[in-house]
Amino acid sequence: MVSSINSRDVSTTDSAPPTTRQKLAVSMMCLFAFLLLYFMMSGPLVWIEDKMKFKPFTRSVETVYKPLVVIVKSDMKPASSAIKAYVGMFK
């Protein structure tokens, strides 16, 4: 069964541009996903850094995760406890 490209089933002009609310929702979801991945990668990267003992990699990890280090050093509860517990699982 062959269908033509100009079929009535495919509509290309009916879609409306995204609204400001939709754009904001997508931006918030992207920010949440980024922060979640940023936090979730901290433990495995600490483990890799501990095994490699490679100075350029160590400096890179320290630079990228400086915000988490500041939270832990300033002892902001409960965030610092959660970070210490999570990263501690990989040491």
d(CA 86, CA 79): 11
Condensed to tens digits (0 to 9), the pLDDT of residues 20-45 reads 999 999 999 999 999 999 999 999 99
Model-level pTM? Answer: 0.71
User: Given CA atoms 43, 47, 52, 53 in this order, what sign does their dihedral have?
Assistant: positive
Structure tokens at 62: 């320290």
Give yes or no for residue 10 having a pLDDT over 70: no
Give yes or no for residue 13 having a pLDDT over 70: no
The pLDDT of residue 30 is 98
**One-letter amino acid of 79:** A
- The kind and range of the H/E element at 16 are none
The pLDDT of residue 3 is 58
Give yes or no for residue 77 having a pLDDT over 60: yes
Percent of the chain residues topping a pLDDT of 70: 85
d(CA 69, CA 61): 11
